[in-house]
Structure 1
């Protein structure tokens, strides 16, 4: 008599990631080396033809790694090509749409709020279009696609900022270019990527039976929340400067005469820098906490970083009837 039990551990089509090879961090490491080599060669040779290479590498490296991170974890019926299209088309459409809508804004206290609502609404619309036929629709899927759209927006926007930083009346300012790239690369994951991930998680989580989008108070609240976080982030420089001035009695006294003494100005700048870093860190912590809380309530899909949990894997156990020997 022979007893045979077959228990293959397989995943259903809707819970199987596309790849799991750690390409995101490998690409990040290789890209950093290439970027550093390009910086050195550009400085040594003073070859301005390498400036576009620097801009592209510095602006797209980390957002591209976000896309690879998503590809290794996203599930459902969305293909790798669709993820890349969400990154490229979403990024280009996002910056174009935001630029057109922001052109009518006039400098004022409410400008930052207007920019926050405009850019988040543009990314939200693109996210809905990209995810219209995605199944299943859940918080984890929405966070992944939201991060992809946000990464595309961040990449193309950072390229524009890097270009503007490099071009001066005196020629190419390489130091300013590199500073801009490094700062925006560090902040990208807790900026556009994070905000759109939060919005996507809530929008997809509110989908009816995981299939169809629907308008909900939760989605509306998430949109308002990320737009205000965006506005707070953008205005943090001005907020920190005002607080630093108000907190310095000497600065207020000197401003009555229309100027600041060099020593006072340096003190205010130092305090403003500390307040800015603290404000950015606090804003980022609020966004990360919001994303964690949304995903924590997403049931078995909550493991954002390691892929679908074991509970969503199909286990087919087939026990054959005892074979009779003759």
Structure 2
């Protein structure tokens, strides 16, 4: 059995056990265990998987650990400080959040790899993904912790639902976007070139579209199925009731959008990895 699969299965069993014991005993002291296992399981698994792929000897376990922890923490702290300046939700806010979070993750990647002598696109992909997954793990822990608190007290079910959803989506989120930016940055040998700037803007746009997909799906649903009285309520600032059919349409549009964004990012990453592989083959001839 491959190492990454063992890590995932062992972690998954321990997480299930933590959830079960917490639910059975109602012991709030176990909540941090549930939060940490659930938030870090998928990101750590993907980092272990990436480590087992093609990489240079410079990418050591120690460097991956530093990239995951230091890069992740620096990214979360930097993003939180800058995003605190954003007040009103809007399209511009989503764009700025994408630019901020992708910028601080890229900056964290540059910081933790500042002493690397030689850089390759493949190493940039692995280390970029590691920084991104570190960011995702710490961010997910925050979301899971917030989901725990409800008006009726602590809700273990909401915590678990949040962790499951973010765990499913995390492979095509922060880790993927920073892997793309890291691959392009390292292909440019760490220099800020036009391709690096375009990659940064591109992943920031993917990030902004991902975050705003709920609002986009609602808008498209209303354009396609909205009734006059619903538009009138929106015009005066009230939220209208929606039909079951509109909920289904919204769900389909939302997931279709997320899947499309993920496919675009995966194809982009595959292109970068393919170029890196062909470059190595040419040099080896």
Whether TM exceeds 0.5 here: the answer is yes
Q: State the shift of 1:49 in Å.
A: 1.5
Q: Residue deviations 1:93-136, cap 9 Å, x none?
A: 11000000111112122000000000000001111122222243
Structure index of larger Rg: 1
49, 70, 74: which one pairs with 1:93? 74
Q: How many Å separate the matches in 2 of 1:301 and 1:24? A: 28
Structure 1's 260 and 198: CA in aligned 2 closer, same or farther, altered over 3 A? closer
CA contact (8 A) 1:28 1:62 kept: yes
Q: How many Å separate the matches in 2 of 1:83 and 1:94? A: 15
Aligned to 2:154: 172
Q: How many Å separate the matches in 2 of 1:300 and 1:254? A: 55
Aligned to 2:229: 253
CA contact (8 A) 1:202 1:218 kept: yes
Alignment of 1:281-296 (within 5 A): 281-296=259-274
CA contact (8 A) 2:213 2:254 kept: yes
Q: State the shift of 1:169 in Å.
A: 2.9
Q: How many Å separate the matches in 2 of 1:254 and 1:298? A: 52
Q: Does 1:270 pair with 2:248?
A: yes
The structure with more helix, counted as a fraction of residues:
2
Q: How many Å separate the matches in 2 of 1:37 and 1:163? A: 18
Q: How many Å separate the matches in 2 of 1:72 and 1:301? A: 21
Q: State the shift of 1:78 in Å.
A: 3.2
130, 137, 141: which one pairs with 1:159? 141
Alignment of 1:114-133 (within 5 A): 114-133=96-115
Structure 1's 122 and 257: CA in aligned 2 closer, same or farther, altered over 3 A? closer
Q: Residue deviations 1:221-254, cap 9 Å, x none?
A: 000000000000000001001111111143x433
Q: How many Å separate the matches in 2 of 1:144 and 1:196? A: 9
Structure 1 residue ranges, 4+ long, deviating more than 3 angstroms after superposition: 252-255, 257-262, 299-302
Alignment of 1:1-326 (within 5 A): 22-73=2-53, 74-107=55-88, 108-207=90-189, 213-250=190-227, 252-257=228-233, 264-300=242-278
Q: State the shift of 1:285 in Å.
A: 0.4
Q: Which runs of 5+ in 1 are unaligned?
A: 1-20, 208-212, 303-308, 313-326
CA contact (8 A) 1:78 1:135 kept: no
Does 1 or 2 have the higher relative contact order (CA < 8 Å, sep 6+)? 1
SS in 1 for 2:116: coil
- The number of residue pairs the alignment matches comes to 279
Q: How many Å separate the matches in 2 of 1:25 and 1:195? A: 23
Question: Which shifted more, 103-112 or 75-84?
Answer: 75-84
Structure 1's 203 and 40: CA in aligned 2 closer, same or farther, altered over 3 A? same
Q: How many Å separate the matches in 2 of 1:135 and 1:290? A: 26
Structure 1's 300 and 135: CA in aligned 2 closer, same or farther, altered over 3 A? farther
Q: How many Å separate the matches in 2 of 1:155 and 1:111? A: 23
TM-score w.r.t. the length of structure 2 is: 0.92
CA contact (8 A) 1:78 1:134 kept: no
Q: Residue deviations 1:151-206, cap 9 Å, x none?
A: 10000000000000001232111111111100100111100000000000000011
Aligned to 1:12: none
